[in-house]
């Protein structure tokens, strides 16, 4: 006995097996099912093309869609750089000011010396003019003036004593003063962890720790403060020197 089409209300004989509905169906219903399957292909193609266009064009410029926490860590590292530059500039201006003070003091000494020499020379010139005017110079007076002139010339030819300025700089490894850690957990997962904290805390996303410093590592002796150039006394311990240096740094 021939099989009938298993589609409800259909009285035709079944001619094939439809894998779409897993039933024996007639030719008419088989073609309808075939057409229905074919029609479902177009929306799938449209959806796939839409996703492709979005990935190929819309998401190429990732900077336009950066999450806020990425922008925040950029701001943190930029601020750290600015703080380091500001701190270095402060120390530089302080050192520069100290050098300028020493140089100005030396220049003032040279100026005062030149003025004093001119005054001494002018006195000798006045004595010579007076003797020349009188027209009665003695041998003793002439020899005295010669000695004064020789002493003046020796004093004038003395080498200028410049201040012994020594710049003591301490290098430091800048990479030791910034630390970046990260994990791959999604922000939503992090929020859930905050609501339900676990025993072992996870690292903060792109957390940063930084400090500007410039003194020797352990084992080295620092005889002078790198911030204010104060020379430490021998009786001052390393711990006391470290406290002194740290007092110059901002909290």
What does the pLDDT profile of the chain (251 residues) look like in tens digits?
Answer: 678 888 888 888 888 888 878 888 888 888 888 888 888 888 999 999 998 888 887 656 555 666 677 778 888 889 989 988 998 899 899 999 999 999 999 999 999 988 998 998 999 899 888 888 888 888 888 888 899 899 888 888 888 888 888 888 877 777 777 777 776 655 555 556 555 555 444 444 444 444 443 444 434 445 777 777 787 776 677 667 777 777 776 65
pLDDT at 181: 76
Model pTM score: 0.46
DSSP strand pairing (16-18 vs 207-210):
unpaired
Answer whether 171's CB lies under 8 Å from 220's CB. Answer: no
DSSP helix/strand/coil, 190: helix
pLDDT at 75: 87
Answer whether 216's CB lies under 8 Å from 222's CB. Answer: yes
pLDDT at 97: 92
Answer whether 15's CB lies under 8 Å from 23's CB. Answer: no
Provide CB contacts within 8 A for 213, sequence distance 6+. 172, 177, 245, 249
pLDDT at 115: 92
pLDDT at 185: 59
Greatest C-alpha distance within the chain: 169
Q: What are phi and psi of 4, to 5 degrees?
A: -95, 155
Q: What are phi and psi of 17, to 5 degrees?
A: -105, 125
pLDDT at 206: 42
CA distance linking residue 172 with residue 169, whole number of Å: 10
Provide CB contacts within 8 A for 239, sequence distance 6+. none
pLDDT at 100: 93
Domain boundaries, the chain: 1-65, 68-214
């Amino acid at each position: 006995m021939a099989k009938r089409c298993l589609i409800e209300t259909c009285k035709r004989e079944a001619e094939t097996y439809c894998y779409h509905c897993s039933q024996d169906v007639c030719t008419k219903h088989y073609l309808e099912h075939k057409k229905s399957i074919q029609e479902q292909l177009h929306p799938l193609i449209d959806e796939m093309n839409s996703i492709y266009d979005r990935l190929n064009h819309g998401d190429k410029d990732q900077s336009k869609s950066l999450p806020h926490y990425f922008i925040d860590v950029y701001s943190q590292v930029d601020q750290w750089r600015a703080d380091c530059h500001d701190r270095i500039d402060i120390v530089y201006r302080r050192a520069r000011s100290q050098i300028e003070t020493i140089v100005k003091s030396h220049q003032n000494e040279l100026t005062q010396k030149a003025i004093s020499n001119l005054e001494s020379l002018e006195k000798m010139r006045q004595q010579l003019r007076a003797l020349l005017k009188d027209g009665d110079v003695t041998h003793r007076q002439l020899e005295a003036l010669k000695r004064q002139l020789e002493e003046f010339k020796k004093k004038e030819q003395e080498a200028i004593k410049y201040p012994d300025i020594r710049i003591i700089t301490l290098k430091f490894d800048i990479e030791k003063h910034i630390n970046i850690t990260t994990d791959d957990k999604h922000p939503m997962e992090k929020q859930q962890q905050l609501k339900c904290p676990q025993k072992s805390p996870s690292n903060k996303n792109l957390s940063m720790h930084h400090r500007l410093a410039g003194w020797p590592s352990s084992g080295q002796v620092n005889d002078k403060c790198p911030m204010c150039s104060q020379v430490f006394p021998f009786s001052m311990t390393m711990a006391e020197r470290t406290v002194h240096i740290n007092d110059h740094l901002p909290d």
